[in-house]
Chain A
């Protein structure tokens, strides 16, 4: 399990966030919310092992994260960064297959089965044979999503801890695919026991699909808890700096609907 205690994160020695303590539990989707510049991506990069924490503890399976070799870490931690790019044109299938690079022990047959599954999960099967750079931004995003699903699911045995980190995965997607993506993530967390951390901008999408929410403001944690607990006007005011109204969702009374302004 990925555990952070009193974490300070930042780049070049300057802390953007301080005092972050959290656990990424298997089977749970943790949404990260915050205004622009609140430190969402910095937190994700730190938890992913890309940048060293400035202070505090960060452990994966009781080992300091920074002491784990990149190729070992890649077998249990998957990241989808923001605005992924591609320098030379690769085929869609090759990009999705890259997700299995940390698992060279997979047989070709196992790999084919896995790719068929993840491409279908990301609704990217239709362009399997196409070139990546010929796809639209939303289609590219779905291909990248299929790639990280491949890495998160490759060779996974029941009960094995895997963490999936997504940085604004819905940015380029139409509403239907935003819903599809988050529904898939949520379903996989439950069925496969994946621990998921997802950075989101849309508070209502977060409220609908995340089990817990982490709200960042003023260089620290503003709130951490279930959507019901944390999506309350004073917290939202503190996080986003605008007045917010919280209503019961017209489609489902159990959910909240947040309106700003």
Chain B
């Protein structure tokens, strides 16, 4: 079947020519670093950009500098770090779940993670947890229980269809329980609930990040290594099996990784929607669906998206701030629409 004029050289890329995915990745990393700097340097408290290095590494010489240093170290940097970690985790898992379900509309919430987390948080608030610190553990527990229920019931079916249907059912059950708890909630609890549901990065502290950052990024690395399985899944479940990726273990591994990444994030930030849904899609439209490059690029793009959203949330209505969930959907929604219209799907 070979034709004599096969230009075999065209596909053998020379060692000097970097793959497009890597070039975009490096560019996105540069943007992220720049954005982290800009975001760290701006906020309600005006800190001169040039002072940043001295504030971080030097000793403050005045009360004003001490305040700047404290704002930077105690308020801004943990928030920026949480935005980077949460954005990366939510988007990477979004990309993985979209590949698992082979559907661009899929997101981690589809297997009960978000609604389970919300149910845990709502239950903690309404059943009168003694302190707000119980919110995060309850939310994590909720998301893990909901997702594992979803997995164990869904795995009886062939393919991901069962998982999808079980996810829908789990979301309905969680939603109705949330509704019931909301009904039982008093005025005060209701207000707490509303704010938790909007999502926020304001709770970022170094002590929570000390666990969250290595946990999330470590599991993300494990998920990045699954790019071959995810590519194979795009060809079909049978094809993936033929290529050596048995459906059941692959599904179990992916669901487990996604739940372990998103669960603590939901617990730490509440429900931040849209990033995990739209950003992987944007990267796919730009770079194609090859997960070898899609996954790392989506991770960095997600970190950029959430850092940007948090920055805007902090500086838009100084000295107040907007809930980040509102910013992500406010910017992401129209942008997504514009993109869809332009591509004429």
Contacts and interface: CB of A to CB of B under 8 A. Distances in A.
- Given a CB threshold of 8 Å, the question of whether A touches B is answered with yes
Interface of A: 48, 50, 69-75, 77-79, 81, 84-91, 93-95, 98-99, 101-102, 104, 112-113, 115-117, 119-123, 125, 128-129, 131, 151, 177, 180-181, 183-184
A133 to B, nearest CB: 10
Given A81-B236, A87-B102, A101 B2 contact: no
Contacts of A183: 1
Given A98-B231, A125-B6, A87 B244 contact: no
B245 interface: yes
A183 B236 CA distance: 27
B13 A112 contact: yes
Contact of A181 (B1, B8, B99): B1
Contact of A120 (B6, B235, B238, B244): B6
A131 B289 CA distance: 10
Contacts of B290: 90-91, 94
Given A88-B234, A112-B12, A70 B1 contact: no
Interface string B5-24: 01110111100000000000
B148 interface: no
A181 B1 CA distance: 6
B11 A119 contact: yes
B243 A86 contact: no
B3 interface: yes
A128 to B, nearest CB: 5
Given A84-B235, A120-B6, A151 B104 contact: no
Contacts of A81: 236, 238-239, 242
B242 A48 contact: yes
Interface of B: 1-3, 6-8, 10-13, 98-99, 102-104, 228, 231-236, 238-239, 241-246, 284, 288-290, 292
Nearest to A111: B12
Contacts of A91: 288, 290
Given A74-B244, A98-B232, 16 more contacts: A50-B242, A81-B242, A85-B236, A86-B235, A87-B103, A90-B288, A94-B290, A102-B244, A113-B12, A116-B6, A116-B11, A122-B1, A125-B10, A128-B10, A129-B11, A184-B1
Contacts of A101: 228, 231-232, 243-245
Contacts of B242: 48, 50, 74, 77-79, 81, 151
Contacts of B102: 87-88
Contacts of A74: 242-244
17 contacts: A77-B242, A81-B242, A84-B235, A86-B235, A89-B284, A90-B288, A94-B231, A94-B288, A95-B235, A101-B228, A101-B232, A112-B12, A113-B12, A116-B11, A120-B8, A125-B6, A125-B8
A78 B232 CA distance: 14
A77 to B, nearest CB: 8
A90 B1 contact: no
Nearest to B231: A98
B288 to A, nearest CB: 6
Contacts of A95: 235
A129 B1 CA distance: 19
Contacts of B7: 125
Contact of A70 (B3, B104, B244): B244
Q: 6 tightest CB-CB pairs across the interface, nearest first?
A: A74-B244, A87-B102, A88-B289, A70-B246, A71-B244, A116-B8
B305 to A, nearest CB: 20
A117 B3 CA distance: 11
B16 to A, nearest CB: 14
B135 to A, nearest CB: 37
Given A84-B235, A88-B284, A184-B1, A99 B243 contact: yes
B238 A121 contact: no
A9 B3 CA distance: 40
B14 to A, nearest CB: 10
A90 B287 CA distance: 9
A176 B284 CA distance: 35
A101 B103 CA distance: 23
Contacts of A129: 10-11
Contacts of A48: 242
B298 to A, nearest CB: 13
A193 B232 CA distance: 27
A255 to B, nearest CB: 21
A53 B295 CA distance: 38
Contacts of B289: 87-90
A86 B290 CA distance: 12
